[in-house]
């Protein structure tokens, strides 16, 4: 239930601050690793930092998809959930702004569903680089395939997150980190493997690139066992 009394709780604000800090660290690490060629570096970096954050900050979601899943199962109050999502989006935006200032270009920032396909220079726009973004969602699929893979990857992440929360597994960091890395590697060729709307929103705000951004927010987030 909505409880304004939560705003007077120090624990409430500590948890919100943890969400902001965890999302900032997670997105910053993934964006830095994304500057390397290939999907392996960001997938491993995301898995490692997710596991580390679970052990160091006590298990913040750092992911609006997981926070909304907790809301759907009534494990969070509406106020706590809304504040958490806002903190996560703010943390992702701050990390993206810092990454844009540090990295040489915006190419590695956006979780791209659309990919640039090389075409002859005669077909490029004025002052172009010889590439235009054709109406192709990914190198290997369509918008439907991207949505399906993003849904699948986020589902397995939510499954692991709820399992370790229910059973208080001592290997929670390893389990969640593995789920993040596996989902990123599996869904990466189709949707970018974000599994985290904030990770996609922050770079989109900073760069202004919103191509097929709806895929990151359009998949169901209800976890297993919810009503």
**List of residues 6+ apart from 25 with CB closer than 8 A:** 49, 53, 95
Q: Are 88 and 20 in contact (CB under 8 A)?
A: yes
Number of domains within the chain? 1
Instruction: Please give the radius of gyration of the chain, using alpha carbons only, rounded to the nearest integer.
Output: 18
Determine the structural domain holding residue 38 and report its residue range: 11-108+131-215
* Residue 138 belongs to domain with CATH number: 1.20.1080.10
Nearest to 28 by CA among 119, 108, 92: 92
Nearest to 184 by CA among 16, 33, 46: 46
The confidence band for 183, taking pLDDT boundaries of 50, 70 and 90, is very high
Q: If DSSP codes are grouped into helix, strand and coil, which group holds residue 131?
A: strand
Question: Which pLDDT score is estimated for 219?
Answer: 52
Phi, psi of 131 (to 5 degrees): -130, 140
Q: Among 116-125, 163-172, 178-187, whose mean pLDDT is lowest? A: 116-125
Residue 120 pLDDT greater than 70, yes or no: no
Share of the chain above pLDDT 70, in %: 75
Judge whether 173 lies within some domain: yes
Q: What is the crossing angle of helices 197-207 and 78-102, to 10°?
A: 50
Judge whether 209 lies within some domain: yes
Pairing of strands 117-118, 131-132: antiparallel
The confidence band for 8, taking pLDDT boundaries of 50, 70 and 90, is confident
Kindly state the average pLDDT of the residues 10-27: 92
Judge whether 136 lies within some domain: yes
Q: What is the mean pLDDT of the chain?
A: 78
Kindly state the average pLDDT of the residues 192-206: 88
Judge whether 37 lies within some domain: yes
* Pairwise CA distance, residues 160 & 202, whole Å: 25
Cα distances from 75 to residues 7, 169, 192, 199, in angstroms, run 18, 18, 29, 23
Judge whether 194 lies within some domain: yes
Judge whether 220 lies within some domain: no
Q: Where are the alpha helices (DSSP H) in the chain?
A: 10-34, 40-57, 64-72, 78-102, 143-167, 172-191, 197-207, 214-218
The CA-based angle 69-73-78, given to 5 degrees, is 80
Q: If DSSP codes are grouped into helix, strand and coil, which group holds residue 82?
A: helix
Residue 223 pLDDT greater than 60, yes or no: no
Judge whether 114 lies within some domain: no
- 91 vs 171, more confident: 91
Kindly state the average pLDDT of the residues 39-55: 91
Question: Which pLDDT score is estimated for 132?
Answer: 39
Judge whether 59 lies within some domain: yes
């Amino acid at each position: 239930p909505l409880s304004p009394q939560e705003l007077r709780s120090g624990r409430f604000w500590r948890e919100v601050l943890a969400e902001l800090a965890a999302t900032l660290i997670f997105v910053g690490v993934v964006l830095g690793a994304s500057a390397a060629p290939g999907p392996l570096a960001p997938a491993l970096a995301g898995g490692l930092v997710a596991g580390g954050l679970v052990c160091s900050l006590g298990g913040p979601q750092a992911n609006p998809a997981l926070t909304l899943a907790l809301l759907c199962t009534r494990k969070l109050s509406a106020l706590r959930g809304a504040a958490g999502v806002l903190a996560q989006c703010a943390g992702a935006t701050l990390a993206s702004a810092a990454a844009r200032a540090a990295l040489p270009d915006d190419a590695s920032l956006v979780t791209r569903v659309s990919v640039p396909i090389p075409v002859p220079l005669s077909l490029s726009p004025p002052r172009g680089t010889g590439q235009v973004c054709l109406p192709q969602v990914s190198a290997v699929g369509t918008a439907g395939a991207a949505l399906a893979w993003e849904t699948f990857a986020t589902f397995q992440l939510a499954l692991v997150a709820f399992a370790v929360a229910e059973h208080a597994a001592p290997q929670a960091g390893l389990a969640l980190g593995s789920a993040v890395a596996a989902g990123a590697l599996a869904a990466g060729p189709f949707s970018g493997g974000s599994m985290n709307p904030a990770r996609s929103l922050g770079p989109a705000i900073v760069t202004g690139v919103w191509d097929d951004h709806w895929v990151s927010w359009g998949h169901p987030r209800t976890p297993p066992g919810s009503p």
